[in-house]
Amino acid sequence: MMSARGQEAGSPTPGEGGGERALFSALLEDSAEDLYENAPCGYLSTLLDGQIAKINNTLLGWLGYTRDELVGLRTFSDLLTVGGRLYHETHFAPLLMMQGEVGGVALELRTAAGERLPVLVTSTIKYGADRQPQLIRTTIFDASDRRAYEQELLRARQEADRERDRLQRLVATLQHSLLPSSLPEVDGLQSAAYYHIASRDEVGGDFYDLFPLSRERWGFFLGDVCGKGAAAAAVTSLIRYTLRAAAVYDPDPVTVLETLNTVMQHEYRGDDPRYCTAIFGILTRDGDGFTIDLAGGGHPPCLLLRADGTADFQHTPNGMLIGMLSPAVFTATTIRLAPGDTLLLYTDGLIEARTTGALNAEVDDDRYGDEALHAFARALAPTTAQQAVAALADLLRGFGAGLDDDTALLALHVPVTERPAERGAP
Amino acid sequence: MVVSGRPDGPTVMLAHGFGCDQNMWRLVAPKLARDFRVVCFDHVGAGRSDLAAYSPDRYADLQAYADDVLEICRELDLSQVVFVGHSVAAMMGVLAAVQEPERFAKLVLLVPSPCYIDDEGYRGGFSRADIEELLESLDSNYLGWSAAMAPVIMGNADRPELGEELTNSFCRTDPLIARSFARATFLSDHRAELAKVGVPTLVLDCAQDVIAPPEVGAFVHAQIAGSRLITLAATGHCPQLSAPEATVRAIAAFAAEPGDHSAEPR
């Protein structure tokens, strides 16, 4: 490695190290001009209107043009594909003029042979001493490999977007299939329902229904399956047909819930237990109103909003979570829905919603809660099924991000019928 | 929406085209503000507009953008507006002025094109394949846009400093919106509307412009009866940036003329 040249150069520290340094400098006899011409990237200088003033050998080689074919004759945008030219004019050039530089923009050059060359382009404006823009300096990197990779990413993203759309359509369809498309018309009864879907990507676990049992009798229910997604949807489906079938067999609410409990125990034994909470009721026509027999299993109590403006929870005490134990205990209660009264059923998404809108697990006292709901109901009464559901739907919307669970609402109301003859009687 | 300039002056409304946002007028608006009341705004989906207001269905063509222009006029109770539309916004102005001519005193069409795609007997400068190529360029260039930053940048008109330090922020657009706006722009054909323009119109084109070549400017001028054509000694599609003085002079002179005399025999 020792060289005479190193000695002759009069290196201040002769020896092996000095010789290496000398070789190093010799190798570095890389003139600025040579670096410019043969750099591993393209260099291009243009006037402010884009006219090519200077271009290096590397870029000429990539493009297959001679210097004389370009300098003073063509503009930078002439070197681009037509689409790239549109992009250059609408994005690149204005940005460059506004910011003085634009970096890392993907464009395609058109070579003399007509082939496309994907490149990454960075431009800066060179300013004179008077801060007046003088020319545009551009570096161009060959991005063929990188572009192929990016296109893969883009394709994967588009694929993911399509899959997500498909999933959301599937979820929406499944969700619809688990809920009644419309509530049946019951003479002398007004009903309304609302379903807030927390996620477009997962089927919710809340359910409700209202269905006829005979000319004078209807069944209804509302509940919540623990969990969500496809597994919860299967449970919801089982619950819905079990409740409907059980009510036809024996329209006693406690018996209906016991049947559901048995079916769920049977169906989901072992390491995949499934539970739900529910209120089940039978409506029986009773003069100008309805008698309602109710049973509940682990579900928040429904609210009765009366014609006289009062409102109270209707408890079905000690009702157990359905599907957990066998035998399970459910208790019944009977109420009367008189003209002007409204019965409101809801799932816990409503009372568990966070009123501060923040999903902050540290704070637990910002849940909407029973008391606030009671006060809301008192302020609302007397009301109708539509009004109650509309008011609560507004309330739910007001929670914004604080409402992170599915929420179902079902309201039943007996309209006040105008009977002037009776009313006029003393 | 930004209103500046002389409150008692005639109103000049500046509408940006496809690509960036109202920053396109940054060299022009302050100069016009000396004599005019200047209204600048971002189209829905661009710049700092409320992205939630954007829907691909509504903004599938230029009519929705023209409706927005008219809505701004109604909201600010504007009449006798001198509407200056750059590029595709020129055609939004044409649609708006055909619909409610009483709102507008004059139109300035800056490098307009009523139809970008070549047709029989008409040269717009592009083929459909070219436009597809542009969409590809849009797909590969998000220009600093990212889903994470979008909520910070968009809809923060009260805190403009939030996005400023980011590079390429002027042209930042949600990639899906950019794609959809590109389609609405470059697939539009409003040649038939030009003849219906009844307000005095100035057509400004550039000596060299790949997007709106000289024959397109001449076509617009020929279709709008009584219009005037001025060709700016500028290169490119953004004379308000590359030749701001000449652009301001042309707009200001035309806008300041008494309205009744602006239509000259050709």
Q: How open is the CA angle A390-A395-A397, to the nearest 5 degrees?
A: 95
Give how far A47 is from chain B: nearest CA, Å: 11
Q: pLDDT-based confidence at B31, cuts 50/70/90?
A: very high
Higher pLDDT, B162 or B128: B128
Structural domains in chain B, sorted by start: 2-113+189-261 (3.40.50.1820)
Q: pLDDT-based confidence at B23, cuts 50/70/90?
A: confident
**B113 catalytically annotated:** no
DSSP string, B22-52: GGGGTTTHHHHTTTSEEEEEPPTTSTTS-GG
Element (DSSP H or E) covering residue A8:
helix A4-8
Task: Measure the CA–CA gap between B217 and B219, rounded to whole angstroms.
Answer: 5
Task: Measure the CA–CA gap between B6 and B35, rounded to whole angstroms.
Answer: 6
The residues pairing with A297 across neighbouring beta strands, listed in sequence order, are: A278
B131 and chain A in contact, CB less than 8 A: yes
The alpha carbon of residue B186 and the mean position of all alpha carbons in its chain are separated, in whole angstroms, by 13
Closest CB to A82: pick one of B130, B135, B139: B130
B50 and chain A in contact, CB less than 8 A: no
* Average pLDDT value for residue range A400-421: 84
Q: pLDDT-based confidence at B166, cuts 50/70/90?
A: very low
Task: Measure the CA–CA gap between B137 and B19, rounded to whole angstroms.
Answer: 12
pLDDT above 90 coverage of chain B, percent: 54
Higher pLDDT, A74 or B163: A74
- B149 pLDDT higher than 60: no
List B42, B174, B205, B209, catalytic entry: B209
Q: Which amino acid is located at A148 in the chain? A: A
Does residue B15 sit in helix, strand or coil? strand
Contact across the interface for B20 and A102, Cβ inside 8 Å: no
ipTM for the predicted complex comes to 0.83
Predicted pLDDT at A419: 57
- A356 pLDDT higher than 80: no
Report whether B178 contacts B142 (CB < 8 A): no
Domain A30-147 bears CATH identifier 3.30.450.20: yes
pLDDT above 70 coverage of chain A, percent: 90
Give how far A229 is from chain B: nearest CA, Å: 26
The mean-pLDDT minimum among A23-32, A211-220, B207-216 falls in A23-32
Please name the CATH architecture into which domain A183-424 falls.
4-Layer Sandwich (3.60)
Closest CB to A91: pick one of B19, B133, B236: B19
Predicted pLDDT at B145: 53
- A322 pLDDT higher than 60: yes
B186 and chain A in contact, CB less than 8 A: yes
Going by the DSSP 8-state scheme, the letter that residue A219 receives in this structure is E
Closest CB to B210: pick one of A89, A91, A97: A89
Task: Measure the CA–CA gap between B46 and B19, rounded to whole angstroms.
Answer: 8
* Average pLDDT value for residue range B212-221: 93
Predicted pLDDT at B176: 81
The mean-pLDDT minimum among A297-306, A332-341, A352-361 falls in A352-361
pLDDT above 90 coverage of chain A, percent: 56
Contact across the interface for B137 and A90, Cβ inside 8 Å: no
Taking CA–CA distances from A121, the nearest residue in chain B reads B141
Tokens at B90, concatenated: 């020129």
Predicted pLDDT at B263: 41
Taking every pair of C-alpha atoms in chain B, what is the biggest distance, in angstroms? 55
Q: What is the pLDDT of residues A33-60, one digit of tens each?
A: 999 999 999 999 999 989 999 999 999 9
Higher pLDDT, A27 or B29: B29
Q: What is the pLDDT of residues A160-186, one digit of tens each?
A: 989 999 998 888 888 888 888 889 999
Closest CB to B140: pick one of A81, A103, A106: A106
Which range, A289-293, A321-325, A367-371, is most confident? A289-293
The per-residue pLDDT of chain B, averaged, comes to: 84
Exposure string for A24-37, b = 16+ CB within 10 A, e = fewer: eeeeeeeeeeeeee
The per-residue pLDDT of chain A, averaged, comes to: 87
- A139 pLDDT higher than 50: yes
The set of residues, in sequence order, having a beta carbon less than 8 Å from that of B221 and lying 6+ positions away, is B203, B227, B228, B229
- B210 pLDDT higher than 60: yes
- B205 pLDDT higher than 90: yes
Burial of A211 (0-12, 13-18, 19+ CB in 10 A): middle
Which residues in A lie closer than 8 A to residue B186 (C-beta atoms)?
86
Closest CB to B23: pick one of A90, A98, A106: A98
Rg (CA), chain B: 18
Tokens at A318, concatenated: 């000690």
Exposure string for A291-325, b = 16+ CB within 10 A, e = fewer: ebbbbbbbbbbbbbbbbeeebeebebeebbbbbbe
Contact across the interface for A99 and B167, Cβ inside 8 Å: yes
Higher pLDDT, A13 or B143: B143
Contact across the interface for A50 and B238, Cβ inside 8 Å: no
B246 and chain A in contact, CB less than 8 A: no
Q: How open is the CA angle A288-A290-A296, to the nearest 5 degrees?
A: 165
Please name which of A405, A409, A360, A397 lies closest in space to residue A199, comparing C-alpha atoms.
Answer: A405
Q: What is the pLDDT of residues B233-265, one digit of tens each?
A: 988 899 998 899 999 999 999 999 886 544 443
Interface test with chain A among B28, B187, B210, by most A beta carbons within 10 Å: B210
Strand bridging mode A407-413 / A342-346: antiparallel
* Average pLDDT value for residue range A219-233: 90
Task: Measure the CA–CA gap between A106 and B168, rounded to whole angstroms.
Answer: 13
- A82 pLDDT higher than 50: yes
List B49, B87, B169, B188, catalytic entry: B87
Q: pLDDT-based confidence at A18, cuts 50/70/90?
A: low
Predicted pLDDT at B266: 37
**B55 catalytically annotated:** no
Does residue B84 sit in helix, strand or coil? strand
- Tell me the C-alpha to C-alpha distance, in Å, between residue A252 and each of A217, A236, A249, A275, A292: 12, 21, 9, 21, 11
The count of CB pairs under 8 A between chains A and B is 103
Contact across the interface for A87 and B137, Cβ inside 8 Å: yes
Domain ranges in chain A?
A: 30-147, 183-424
Taking CA–CA distances from B171, the nearest residue in chain A reads A91
Exposure string for B127-152, b = 16+ CB within 10 A, e = fewer: eeebbebbbbbbbbbbbbbeeeeeee
Q: pLDDT-based confidence at A29, cuts 50/70/90?
A: low
**B68 catalytically annotated:** no
Predicted pLDDT at B8: 86
Give how far B73 is from chain A: nearest CA, Å: 27
Give how far A231 is from chain B: nearest CA, Å: 32
Report whether A60 contacts A36 (CB < 8 A): no
